[in-house]
Amino acid sequence: MSKIVKTQIDQFYFHYPSSATVVTTRAGDKANAMAVAWHTAMSHHPPYYMVSISPKRFSHQLITQSGEFVVNFMPAEMGALIARVAACSGKDVDKFRAFGIEASPGAKVGAPVLKDALASYECKVIARHTYGDHDLFMGEILAVQYEPSAYNEGMMLDLDSQRPILYMGGDYYSTANGQRYLDRAKLLEEVMASRP
C-alpha cells in the first residue's frame, strides 16, 4: 500500500468515525448541551471517562464551576439534535428550550440526563489537564443510565436493533450496523500453531 505523508497538520479526521455524544452540564440555573466527539474510557476500576473540551466553550465554564458532566450516547435518529447543539453556543441559546430537549436530573449529579440517549454516564470531575487548545476533564462515573432494550445480555449495544450515530468529522455523520465477533485468543492460537 502506497501512503501519502503529510507533515503540516491542520485538520485531521483519520481517527473517525467515533461515537457522537452530547455532553450535558449544569451550574446553578444554567444548563447546556454540547456535541462532543473527543471522549474515551480511561479505567475500568475505578470507572473513569474523559472528555476533551475547548476553554472557549460554554460547557467548559459550567463543568469547571460544577465539577460534573454527563456523557449521553445517542441513536442515529437524534443526529439533527446533535448538529443543532453543535451549531450554537449555550451562552446565546437555551438549547433545552430552543430544541425541545427532554432531560431529567442525574441520579448522582445535577447535570441533565437526556431522555433519548441510549446510555448516559454521570461523571464527577476528578482531574483537569490542559493539552494544546483543549482541556481534558477526567470524570469518575458515579452512575450509568441506559435503555435495557438497546443492549444485549453481555451489555453490548444490540446493533441488530439499534443504530448509534457516529461522527465522521466536519458536518458528516454515519451509523453503525452489524457486528463481528473476533475471538482474540483463538486467532492468536491459530497463528502460533502455524509457526515452525
pLDDT tens, residue by residue, 23-43 = 999 999 999 999 999 999 999
- Provide the whole-model pTM: 0.90
Cell of 34: 454540547
- Upstream peptide bond of 46 is cis (omega within 30 degrees of 0): yes
How does the average pLDDT of the chain come out, rounded?
92
3-class DSSP state of 163: coil
Q: What is the pLDDT of residue 119?
A: 96
pLDDT tens-digit readout, 163-177: 999 999 889 999 987
pLDDT one-digit tens code per residue, 99-150: 999 999 999 999 999 999 999 999 999 999 999 999 999 999 999 999 999 9
- Contact of 11 with 169, CB cutoff 8 Å: yes
Whether pLDDT at 12 is above 80: no
- CATH architecture of the domain covering 18-194: Roll (2.30)
List Cα–Cα distances, 176 to 24, 31, 69, 162, in angstroms.
Answer: 23, 30, 26, 9
